[in-house]
A = this chain, B = another copy of it.
C-alpha cells in the first residue's frame, strides 16, 4: 500500500560516526558478535535470486485482492513453503468488511456530454493486463451514492486548498469536487470535501505526477498510461485502521460488530478514482477562475476551478459483504527466550497483481524465512522466537495486521521485542523509518549490507546521495513512522518498537495500484535482475537475526532523546512562527494590503482574521526531556560496562520501553492511536505528526488542548525515563 515516492519522504539526514569496525555489534559480546557475523555471512551466501523471480511470478501471477481465489491460494502456498522450511506456520483468518463495486458511473452531463470509460486498457506485450478477475478501479469504503452537481476543481483537496478556495469566493457545498492524487493520503480528499459540504468526490492521477510528464508511459516506459487509475482505500484510517466494524477487537467470525451505519471510519460521500484520459474532458469543461499556478497539472488545457458549467453525474453502488482475510503466521521458536518475539512482516494481498506492491517485498521476507529455516536445520536456532507474517487485506486499510494485533494484543504487549515491516521494494537507496530507540542499531545493519550496484555499503551509498544533494550526513537518521503500512497497529496502537524498510529511488513509475503493476513491468523497470530484492532480504534478515540473537537488546536511548528533543524544539519554533504569521496577517488586513493587491482578473478576498497565538508553557516538556537525556546517558554508561551475558532481566524492561510511550486514553478524538511520539496526521493520513497531541492542537488552533497535551507528554516521557533508569540500574 505504501508508495515508494511517499516512502522516500521519510528519508533521513546526518549525524555521528558512520565508519565503525564491522566486528562491533551493539548488544553483543565480542565473541557473540563474531558468531553472529559468521551467521550473517552464511545467510547472505544462501540467498538465491531465482527464488525471488519464481515467487513473484507465482504470487503475482493472477489478481489476488482480499477474498479472491488467488489470494487464498497464495496464503496456502506460503504456509506450505514455510512448513517445508521448518516453521510452525498457519493461516489465521479474520472476517472483514470489504466492499466491491456493483455500479460505477461518471458522466459529464453538460455542457458537452462525456461518459467516463473507467476501464484500464490492455497493454500489448503484457498478457497479465488482460487477465480476468481484476477488481475494477474504485476507492474502497466510498459511500454508495447517486449525485449530480456542478464540478469544482480543488487541487489536492487538502485543508489549505479550501482556504484558497474560500479566498476565491468558491464554496463546494452541494457540489462534486475533483481532486488530483498527491499532496496527502487519498482518504483525506473526500473526508475534507465532505467536511466542506461536497456531495461527491472524484480523484484522478494528473500526468504531471506519474504520467507522461514524468517519463515514457507503459509499455514504452514505467509511467501511467492514459487509462490507468489508482485504486485505493478511503477508510478514515487516521481515526482507526482495520475492519471498520470491529475497532479494538479482532474480527473473528463471532466478534461483536458495529452496524455499518454506525461505523465512523466509512467515507460519508461517494468517491471514485479516474484516469487522466477520463479527467481531461471534465476539467476542460470547467470555467470560473484559472487555477493558481501550483494547482495546475500536465494536461494540455487551462485548468479552471469552476464551479461548473461542467455538471457531473456520479453513481456508485457497492457489495458490502464480509470477506475472509487470510494472514499467514509462521513461528520459529527461540532457543533461549521463546517468549521474546521478533516479528517480521509484509502484506500479501494486492489491488490487482501487485508484482511491486506488495509481492516484491513479500518474496524477500519469504527468502529470509527459507534461509533461517535452513540455518536452524544446521543447528543455528535463534535465541528469541521469530514470527514471520504475510498479511492479508492490507490494501483496504491494514485490515489483516490490525485484526491480528487487536486479537493478540495482550500476548504481543508482553512478548513483542520489535516489528520489522516491508511493503514492496525497488532499485536504489535504502530507506528506513522507525522507532528511534533502534536507530543506532540499524546504522550497524546498514553498514554491513552491500549495495548491489556499487559494492559499497548501503549506508555509504545513502551518504553519497545526501552529499550530492548538499547535505553532510554522517549517519542514517530514521524517519518517524506515520501510517500507510502494517507497522501501524504495532507501533501506534500497542507501542511495539517498529521499523519500516526497503529500497527505492531508482524505481519510480505510474503502476501503483493499477492493473499495470505486473511481473513484466516490475522486472523491466522497478528492479531489473532483482538485485535489490536480495539487498532487502540481507537487510531484513540481518535486522531480525540480530534482534533475535543479541545478548542485550540493542535499544539505545541517546538517539531517541536527541530526536525527541529536536521535535520539541521544532514545535516551539512552529508555535512562534504561527504567532508571527498570524500577527502579520492581521496587520496586513488592518492596513488594507490584501484589498490593494487583489488582481481584478482573479479577485482574491482577504483571509479571515486569526485569533492571537498565546505563549504556551513548554517547561514541563523541557524538564522531562532533560531528565530523559540524563537517563539515556546513564543507560549508555551502564551498558558499556555491563556483563552482557547477564542481561535477561534488563531485556524484559527494554521490551516494555516503547510501550511506555503509549497511553490507553490515546490521542484526542482518536483513542485507538496510543503512541504519543508518532502518529499519522489527522489531515495528512500517511504523513507523520511527531508529538502529535501537541502539534495537531497547535495546527488546529486549539491552544488550551495544546497546553494540556504538553503536560500529558511530559508525564508519558517521565514514565519512559523511569523505565530507562530501571534498565540502567539492572545492568549495574
Contact = CB atoms under 8 A, between A and B. Distances in A.
A599 B467 CA distance: 15
B300 A207 contact: yes
A596 B290 contact: no
Contacts of A298: 298, 300
Nearest to A280: B300
A464 B597 contact: yes
A217 B301 CA distance: 10
Contact of A594 (B290, B468, B506, B600): B468
A593 B299 contact: no
B601 A506 contact: yes
B300 A212 contact: yes
A323 B451 CA distance: 68
A221 B596 contact: no
A597 B468 contact: yes
Given A290-B216, A599-B506, A467 B593 contact: yes
15 contacts: A214-B302, A216-B302, A221-B290, A223-B302, A298-B300, A427-B600, A454-B596, A460-B596, A464-B588, A465-B596, A468-B593, A468-B594, A468-B597, A506-B600, A506-B601
A594 B464 CA distance: 7
Interface in A289-321: 290, 293, 296, 298-302
8 residue pairs, one from A and one from B, having the closest CB atoms: A464-B596, A464-B593, A300-B300, A467-B593, A506-B599, A212-B302, A215-B290, A465-B597
Contacts of A217: 302
Given A207-B300, A300-B298, A591 B464 contact: yes
A461 B594 CA distance: 10
A704 interface: no
A465 B428 CA distance: 45
Contacts of A221: 290, 302
A299 B451 CA distance: 38
Nearest to A461: B596
Contacts of A212: 300-302
Number of copies: 2
A625 B37 CA distance: 66
A464 B290 CA distance: 23
Interface residues of A, number: 41
Contacts of A302: 212-217, 221, 223
Contacts of A601: 506
Given A212-B301, A214-B290, 12 more contacts: A214-B302, A215-B290, A215-B302, A216-B302, A221-B302, A223-B302, A298-B300, A300-B300, A453-B600, A468-B588, A468-B597, A506-B599
Most chain B CB atoms below 10 A, which of A221, A223, A596: A596
B300 A596 contact: no
A456 interface: yes
A293 B212 CA distance: 12
Interface string A442-466: 0000000001011010001100110
B461 A597 contact: yes
A197 interface: no
A113 interface: no
A69 interface: no
A592 interface: yes
A71 to B, nearest CB: 32
A207 B592 CA distance: 35
Interface string A192-223: 00000000000000010000111111000101
Nearest to A599: B506
Nearest to A226: B300
Interface in A618-640: none
Interface in A214-252: 214-217, 221, 223
A257 B474 CA distance: 65
A215 B288 CA distance: 11
A597 B601 CA distance: 46
A16 to B, nearest CB: 19
Contacts of A215: 290, 302
A587 to B, nearest CB: 8
Interface in A151-191: none
B467 A588 contact: yes
A591 to B, nearest CB: 7
A362 to B, nearest CB: 24
Interface in A481-524: 506
Nearest to A216: B302
Nearest to A429: B597
Contacts of A293: 214
A594 B465 CA distance: 8
Contacts of A300: 207, 212, 298-300
Interface in A575-607: 588, 591-597, 599-601
A164 to B, nearest CB: 14
A591 B467 contact: yes
Contacts of A506: 599-601
A356 to B, nearest CB: 15
Contacts of A597: 461, 464-465, 468
Most chain B CB atoms below 10 A, which of A213, A594, A599: A213
A596 B216 contact: no
A453 B213 CA distance: 40
A506 B290 CA distance: 14
Contacts of A592: 464
Contacts of A216: 290, 302
Contacts of A460: 596
Contacts of A207: 300
Nearest to A465: B597
Contacts of A214: 290, 293, 302
A606 to B, nearest CB: 10
Contacts of A213: 296, 302
A449 to B, nearest CB: 15
